[in-house]
Amino acid sequence: MAMNLGRRAFLGQAALLGAGAAMAGGVAGCKSMSPGAGAATAMGLRCKPLEKIRVGVIGLGMRGPGAVQNYSNLPGVEVTALSDLLPERAERQQKGLKDKGKPDVTLYAGSEDAWKKLCESDRVDLVHVTTPWLLHTPMALYAMRCGKHVAVEVPAALTLEQCWELVETSERTRCHCMMLENCCYGENEMFAMMLCRKGVLGELVHGEGAYLHDLRDLKFSATGYQDMWRLKYSKEHTGNPYPMHGLGPICQYMDINRGDTFEYLTSVSSGQFGLTQFAIDKFGKNSPEAREPYKLGDMNTTVIKTRRGRTIMVQHNTTSPQPYSRINTISGTQGILSDYPLRVALSPKSHEWMGDAELAALKAKYVHPLWDKNGESAKKAGGHGGMDYLLLLRLCHCLQKGLPLDISVYDTALWSSLVELTERSVLKRGSSVDVPDFTRGGWKTAPSLGIVDVG
């Protein structure tokens, strides 16, 4: 049986990876909040209800504008501050809010550390971080040390050290730190959650998730990721740098960190072919882009074993021509749901997938209340088919009611920990790697995540 490893013992087994760890270590706290020692667990953390939520958004490139738009449509929520390295981006969102008749927004833009002023502002309760990956943890830490709740884009952390810092800072400051895993709020994912919670699939045995998304054009585009940061990451790292979209929903189905948790994993990557071939085709065989070495394997496959004996497979591929898929498979003793396209098979007719009419009837019977009541509004709001809207709707509802969040800081850390753990395993020819218990045993008694709503 694997050891139940705490932070220090686990980190002592191997050196940390990459520049992200160095960045996380150098974040200064705010004068308004000095973290203390010996803090209590943040499991089931309830904070003072916020009748009105004042939101500051950092990063207004790809994802930030959508967040600003969704927040501006939520009851009891006001966007009060915006920050971006490029002033014109912040000004564009400020104008959009003004055109909708919203109150004045304070801008913090034009310098590398302007975002810190947003975190320090007494007009902000919730800091929403949507910036390049290396900045996620430093910004989340600083915001919590300023006494602010944090919603941070995926991945929330890139190293184990960063994962532990997020956990311990949330525990000390009593501030929420939630990773914005929108796929947990997808229509089919929440339908799957209903089947799991209602026992339709029986005892859960195995899950499969993925992020299979052809991003070659974006990675090589000068107008895609700011300063081409995602391509740079592909030059420096292997493993699975983006496991959460497929992993998060599976973890919620299985109540990971709420009755079960990860024990160990093994991870293998294919060779790197796609980026080089794309660069040859686009820029020429002798171009700098084609001659550049890239470490990120095209297909990464990771298998996780849980403490209760269940298994999860997670895949990542952003460099092969393929249709988008998150796989989203959950299998139990009474049936299976698999997505892309959506299919269900249940005992005693589990040898074949349900027909269209039978599947439609099952979906109608087990529609999730969040989608049943808010699905039309979500689809109109947009954002990945409406799941972005439902994520923020539920997040703000919990903050307004003083409820624990659906995705805790422990979930945030555990799901993010795969970034480093999969790289470790890949570099050791697929050797198994123990997964730390960020809850320090709290998963054994934590209540299940139920069928959540905003009513």
Q: Where are the domains of the chain?
A: 49-180, 184-373+389-444
CA of residue 437 relative to chain centroid, distance: 18
Q: What share of the chain is helix, strand, coil (3-state, %, to 5)?
A: 40, 15, 40
**Backbone torsions φ then ψ of 279, nearest 5 degrees:** -65, -40
Q: Determine the residue type at 127.
A: V
CA–CA separation, 335 and 347 (whole Å):
6
Residue 34 confidence class, pLDDT cut points 50, 70, 90: very low
Residue 16: predicted pLDDT: 36
Domain 49-180 CATH assignment equals 3.40.50.720: yes
Residue 393: predicted pLDDT: 98
CA–CA separation, 414 and 344 (whole Å):
29
Domain 184-373+389-444 fold is Dihydrodipicolinate Reductase; domain 2 (3.30.360)
State the average pLDDT for the chain. Answer: 92
Ranges 32-41, 198-207, 213-222, 360-369: which has the least confidence: 32-41
- Does 15 have pLDDT greater than 90? no
Residue 24: predicted pLDDT: 33
Residue 11 confidence class, pLDDT cut points 50, 70, 90: very low
The alpha-carbon radius of gyration of the chain (Å, integer) is 21
pLDDT in tens, 224-234: 998 999 999 99
Q: If we measure between CA atoms, which residue out of 181, 194, 193, 200 comes closest to residue 390?
A: 181
- Does 130 have pLDDT greater than 80? yes
Any idea what DSSP says for residue 256? Answer: B
| 5 CB burial (10 A radius; 0-12, 13-18, 19+) | middle
- Does 35 have pLDDT greater than 60? no
Is the bond into 249 cis (omega within 30 degrees of 0)? Answer: no
Assess contact for 185 and 379: CB atoms under 8 A. Answer: no
pLDDT in tens, 253-310: 999 999 999 999 999 999 999 999 999 999 999 999 999 999 999 999 999 999 999 9
What whole-number percentage of the chain has pLDDT above 70? 92
Which residue has 């006001």 as its token pair?
Answer: 78
- Does 29 have pLDDT greater than 60? no
Which residues make beta-bridge pairs with 210? 315
CA–CA separation, 127 and 129 (whole Å):
6
- Does 121 have pLDDT greater than 50? yes
pTM: 0.92
- Does 124 have pLDDT greater than 70? yes
pLDDT in tens, 134-177: 999 999 999 999 999 999 999 999 999 999 999 999 999 999 99
Any idea what DSSP says for residue 384? Answer: G
Residue 215 confidence class, pLDDT cut points 50, 70, 90: very high
Residue 37: predicted pLDDT: 52
The token duo for 293 is 């070495």
Is the bond into 75 cis (omega within 30 degrees of 0)? Answer: no
Residue 383: predicted pLDDT: 83
Residue 6: predicted pLDDT: 54
Topology alike, domains 49-180 and 184-373+389-444: no
Residue 38: predicted pLDDT: 60
- Does 74 have pLDDT greater than 70? yes
Contacts made by residues 21-28, CB under 8 angstroms, sequence distance 24+: 21/158, 21/159, 21/161, 21/162, 23/134, 23/135, 23/137, 23/138, 24/137, 24/138, 24/141, 24/157, 24/159, 24/161, 24/162, 24/165, 25/161, 26/138, 27/138, 27/141, 27/142, 27/145, 28/142, 28/145
